[in-house]
Chains A and B, each alone.
Chain A
Amino acid sequence: MNLDQLLNQLLTALTSISLLLLISIGLAVIFGMMGIINLAHGEFLMLGAFATLAGVRVGLNIWLAMLLAPLLVGLFGLLVERLLIQFLYGRLADSMLATWGLSLIMVQAVVFIFGTTTQGIPTPLGNFSLGQYSVSWYSVVLILAALLLISVVFWVFKRTRYGLLARAAMQLPEMAMSLGINTRRLNALTFAFGSALAGAGGALLAPITGVVPGMGQAYIGRAFMNVIIAGPGVLTGTTAASGLLGTVEYTASYVSTPFIGQAALLIFAIVLIRFLPTGLSGRWGKQL
């Protein structure tokens, strides 16, 4: 194998991993910190993509639009938490069903607003040569963005007062309550933060996929799987799981076919869960 081929493989695999991380980090924060499985997560991604699209349409710079999209989706998340999720803490099945209902509504609402097909955003930045291979600059952006999001999550939970309280509330909810921490506000903030991360993921996806109302469905399954494999460690677990699953999927689909790639991913995940029922980070304790 030549050097350029190796580098190209590495870069593509890293992009796969980054994508997996980008589409699941929002879900992971909401699941890991609050125990809510947000089945509308795919639609939050979709909303992030459409927010970016709308931003570009009104003439914003694409990078600016990508920055604004998470804020918008975060606000939307705040609204959803206040109107819906706050009544469903500790009710796993109910929260899944309510968010599923929400996802149905969101898809159709977007169809009403934008129609079934809309003009998307082209991938910015062009490409560069890596020996005989040409690679999109944007895939480098995706890798950097994944690193950036990891750092942001780390910073928020480790270095801010909110993060400290949120982690405390996650580990010992009763204790947090009795210490006078306002868990209501905390939960709302966490959900909004998770939604914003999903929005960021969607915004970053916008220039590499078709921005259509049903696009969320393509990602929800994998994001879901990733978070379950990750286990309770929001940051460590999700990063490790993305790395593992991304590599498995990329290798399997490169060596054989994308079908085998997908099947390998799912089977690998199920076998892993059999032996590590609480996910990769299950034994690392309730760390980030």
Chain B
Amino acid sequence: MKFLLRKIPFEAKGLLVIAGVAFILTGLVEDYQATQWTVWVIYGLLALSLTLVWGKGGIFSLGQVAFFGIGGYAYGVVGVNLIHTTGESLSALVAAGLLAALFAAAQGFFMFYGNVGDVYIAVITLATTLVLYTFMLSTSGRQYAIGIAYLGGFNGMTNVPPLTLFNSFLSQRDLLLVTIIIAAAIAFVVRFLLRRPFGRVIAGLRTNELRTQLLGYDTRRYKLLLYMLGGGIAGLAGGFYAAWGQFISPTVFSLSQASLAVIYVLVGGRASLSGAFAGAILVEGLSTNLSKGGTEATPIVLGLVMILIVLLLPTGIAPALATLLKRIQIRGGKIETRGLSPLLEEKFLSKTIPTASAFRKNSGRLETVELRKTFGGLVAVANASLTFDSSGVYCLIGPNGAGKSTYFNLLIGRYKPTSGQALFAGKPLNRMPIFRRVQQGMGIKLQVVSIFTELSVFENMWLAAYAISRNSLWAEQQAGQLLERFGLLQYADEQAGTLAHGQQQWLEIGMVLAQEPSVIMLDEPTAGMTREETARTAELVRELGKQASVIVVEHDMEFVRLLDAPVTVFHQGQIFAKGRLEELRQNEDLQNIYLGRYRNVEVK
């Protein structure tokens, strides 16, 4: 019994409590209050959808009301047609959510699979809303009818039926009750989802989309799913709105309506689910209270509120106050200084490399044939034919602008080659997006530290492990083990961004290792490391080279020397020389190319 109780998630309990409170509350309020509160909750639901998409997913959907409006019209059209045949309109509400989600899918596919930039997403979503506005405005003719439902143009749809439940119309109070319960249910489902692996990947892609791709996640798909979910919720809210007012008109698509949704979220706090409702209720309550008695001041007050919030409380009112309260509770938090790099601990190396699990991908030979990349007229890489065996360490060196980084980016898929081929275990890579290469067994670490700074250290590691296993439990174990081996376990629930720089480097290397890759690609892994750390890294890389193919792009000759591996020198986009470092040092031309650097190394 106790076990069962513990099994009931927090969300379900919360929903029960809210339903209970709402039940009592709706028994006490007057009808007009019920009417008002219902629409506030509906706007809250709209804000929730935006919080989900924008606050949680980082997609700035400025036109979220498009889905709200589509939902409203869907409810209207389906409701008007249904009420005369089946006598119920509840299924129209379902249609509202589904249709909006479908529309979001179409639009999202267009945006996310077209790799449209952030600013442009804001613009495209807003423009879509305005197109819908213009379109709905012009549907006043009688030819614009679906079944027996007239779209009505500027005047909107009239005769929209109220919501039915068990084949009877809901009163205002009952509608309030139903709205609250469904809104709360949705909020809790969203909360639940965000704590599932799905939510963590979403958090990851918001914080660092490139890293998420480099871990092997198809971020486009995740964004699309999130966007559909947000669209569906907004559509449902729109359906409720049409049922509430028994009316829907194109003004739901207007610019001011679009901005209102954003204002709710801004006031409530971008990433706070409950804040979405608080924001909507606060703004709507304020504007309703201001509207009385012809002062004509509402726009000025609303405008000022927006400006002040942006300037003074950029996180939103609720979170800002919450932080304030927390600060009072804790009384001056202290920032602890981090310990030494774990790397310098004894016996570190032997523990670091995970033993291969079932998720390790089969290794194979990575090769490039006549790979070429040009930017405009500039040839960045030409005639690059190289082969990397399934184990061993390979170094790519060359002065700045020699083409080694371009080559590296061609290998990992950030650039598409102009001509030539890249093959991995015999499979062509050219058209393969980054995340799929990672799924094939590539592990990638870029030059600049790229981790999820806003997520906890544990979540960082977990995201890496989950990417290859899709098994939350295994990912937890793997992450825990790696954190322990890298000496980061004590920071597991700290924000990764608070780690010292060296520790962040190690976290990222750990994340790559957690994926048990068969090809490991490291771009200047020792940037910013001390001499001692560099030495240890070399040791680690050599060790890794026994099991996997490790490709290192490096500037630091000392590190290359320590690796004692075959070296390929790039010069002016071409492969200039290959061989052991000792052999290459004899080469006069190479000395000339590298004069400055060699001298530095010698002096050291």
Residues of A within 8 A of B (CB): 37, 39, 84, 87-88, 91-94, 96-98, 100-105, 107-109, 111-112, 217, 220-221, 224-225, 228, 259, 262-263, 266-267, 269-270, 273-274, 277-278
Q: Answer yes or no: B370 CB below 8 A from chain A CBs.
A: no
Inter-subunit contact A98/B311 (CB<8 Å): yes
Inter-subunit contact A87/B311 (CB<8 Å): yes
Inter-subunit contact A228/B120 (CB<8 Å): yes
Inter-subunit contact B299/A107 (CB<8 Å): yes
Minimum CB distance partner of A282 in chain B: B117
Minimum CB distance partner of A262 in chain B: B134
Inter-subunit contact B127/A266 (CB<8 Å): yes
Q: Mark B573-587, 1 if CB is under 8 A from A, else 0.
A: 000000000000000
Known contacts A101-B310, A228-B123; A266/B134 CB under 8 A: yes
Interchain CA distance A170-B124 in the complex, whole Å: 24
Segment of B301-309, B455-463, B551-559 in the binding face: B301-309
Minimum CB distance partner of A101 in chain B: B306
Interchain CA distance A108-B262 in the complex, whole Å: 21
Minimum CB distance partner of B270 in chain A: A93
Inter-subunit contact A108/B300 (CB<8 Å): yes
Segment of B108-116, B237-245, B483-491, B518-526 in the binding face: B108-116
Q: Answer yes or no: B197 CB below 8 A from chain A CBs.
A: no
Chain A residues whose CB sits within 8 angstroms of the CB of B314 once the complex forms: 91, 94
Q: Which B residues, 273 to 325, have Cβ-Cβ distances below 8 Å to chain A?
A: 296-297, 299-300, 302-307, 310-311, 314
Inter-subunit contact A224/B138 (CB<8 Å): no
Q: Answer yes or no: B198 CB below 8 A from chain A CBs.
A: no
Known contacts A107-B299, A259-B134; A220/B310 CB under 8 A: no
Interchain CA distance A107-B123 in the complex, whole Å: 23
Interchain CA distance A122-B127 in the complex, whole Å: 33
Inter-subunit contact B296/A84 (CB<8 Å): no
Chain A residues whose CB sits within 8 angstroms of the CB of B563 once the complex forms: none
Interchain CA distance A87-B262 in the complex, whole Å: 20
A172 to nearest B CB, angstroms? 17
Chain A residues whose CB sits within 8 angstroms of the CB of B22 once the complex forms: none
A116 to nearest B CB, angstroms? 10
Inter-subunit contact A101/B130 (CB<8 Å): no
B283 to nearest A CB, angstroms? 12
Chain B residues whose CB sits within 8 angstroms of the CB of A102 once the complex forms: 303, 307
Inter-subunit contact A270/B303 (CB<8 Å): no
Interchain CA distance A97-B279 in the complex, whole Å: 15
Inter-subunit contact A277/B307 (CB<8 Å): no
Chain A residues whose CB sits within 8 angstroms of the CB of B304 once the complex forms: 101, 105
Known contacts A98-B307, A277-B117; A111/B296 CB under 8 A: yes
4 A-B pairs closest in CB distance: A101-B306, A104-B303, A105-B303, A101-B303
Inter-subunit contact B134/A97 (CB<8 Å): no
10 intermolecular pairs with C-beta atoms under 8 Å apart? A96-B122, A97-B263, A97-B266, A98-B311, A105-B300, A108-B296, A217-B255, A220-B255, A266-B134, A274-B116
Q: Answer yes or no: B128 CB below 8 A from chain A CBs.
A: yes
Q: How many residues of B contact A (CB 8 A)?
A: 40
Chain B residues whose CB sits within 8 angstroms of the CB of A224 once the complex forms: 123, 126-127
Inter-subunit contact B299/A277 (CB<8 Å): no
Known contacts A108-B300, A278-B117; A270/B128 CB under 8 A: yes
A95 to nearest B CB, angstroms? 8
Chain A residues whose CB sits within 8 angstroms of the CB of B296 once the complex forms: 108, 111-112
B301 to nearest A CB, angstroms? 9
Inter-subunit contact A269/B306 (CB<8 Å): no
Q: Answer yes or no: B131 CB below 8 A from chain A CBs.
A: yes
Chain A residues whose CB sits within 8 angstroms of the CB of B37 once the complex forms: none
Contact of B114 among A91, A96, A277 (CB under 8 A): A277
Inter-subunit contact B110/A274 (CB<8 Å): yes
- Scoring B110, B119, B128 by chain A CB atoms within 10 A of each residue's CB, the highest score goes to B119
Chain B residues whose CB sits within 8 angstroms of the CB of A39 once the complex forms: 259
Chain A residues whose CB sits within 8 angstroms of the CB of B259 once the complex forms: 39, 97, 100
Interchain CA distance A112-B298 in the complex, whole Å: 13
Q: List 18 additional A-B contacts (Cβ < 8 Å) besides A93-B262, A96-B122, A225-B127.
A: A37-B119, A92-B122, A94-B310, A101-B302, A101-B310, A104-B306, A105-B299, A105-B303, A108-B299, A108-B300, A108-B303, A112-B296, A270-B127, A273-B124, A274-B110, A274-B116, A277-B116, A278-B120
Interchain CA distance A104-B115 in the complex, whole Å: 34
Interchain CA distance A3-B392 in the complex, whole Å: 77
B113 to nearest A CB, angstroms? 10
Q: Answer yes or no: B359 CB below 8 A from chain A CBs.
A: no
Interchain CA distance A220-B130 in the complex, whole Å: 11
Chain A residues whose CB sits within 8 angstroms of the CB of B310 once the complex forms: 88, 94, 97-98, 101
Contact of A97 among B119, B120, B131, B262 (CB under 8 A): B262
Inter-subunit contact B134/A100 (CB<8 Å): no
Known contacts A98-B307, A274-B114; A104/B300 CB under 8 A: yes
Inter-subunit contact B131/A104 (CB<8 Å): no
Q: Which B residues, 339 to 380, have Cβ-Cβ distances below 8 Å to chain A?
A: none
Interchain CA distance A39-B314 in the complex, whole Å: 18
Chain B residues whose CB sits within 8 angstroms of the CB of A96 once the complex forms: 62, 122
Inter-subunit contact A269/B300 (CB<8 Å): no
Interchain CA distance A224-B131 in the complex, whole Å: 14
Contact of B60 among A92, A269, A270 (CB under 8 A): A92
Chain A residues whose CB sits within 8 angstroms of the CB of B119 once the complex forms: 37, 92, 228
Chain A residues whose CB sits within 8 angstroms of the CB of B118 once the complex forms: 92
Contact of B297 among A100, A108, A221 (CB under 8 A): A108
Interchain CA distance A269-B54 in the complex, whole Å: 24
Chain A residues whose CB sits within 8 angstroms of the CB of B115 once the complex forms: 277
A24 to nearest B CB, angstroms? 13
Interchain CA distance A96-B122 in the complex, whole Å: 10
Q: Answer yes or no: B135 CB below 8 A from chain A CBs.
A: yes
Chain A residues whose CB sits within 8 angstroms of the CB of B62 once the complex forms: 96
Chain A residues whose CB sits within 8 angstroms of the CB of B131 once the complex forms: 263, 266-267, 270
- Scoring A96, A101, A107, A269 by chain B CB atoms within 10 A of each residue's CB, the highest score goes to A101
Interchain CA distance A263-B133 in the complex, whole Å: 10
Chain B residues whose CB sits within 8 angstroms of the CB of A217 once the complex forms: 255
Minimum CB distance partner of B263 in chain A: A97
Interchain CA distance A109-B117 in the complex, whole Å: 36
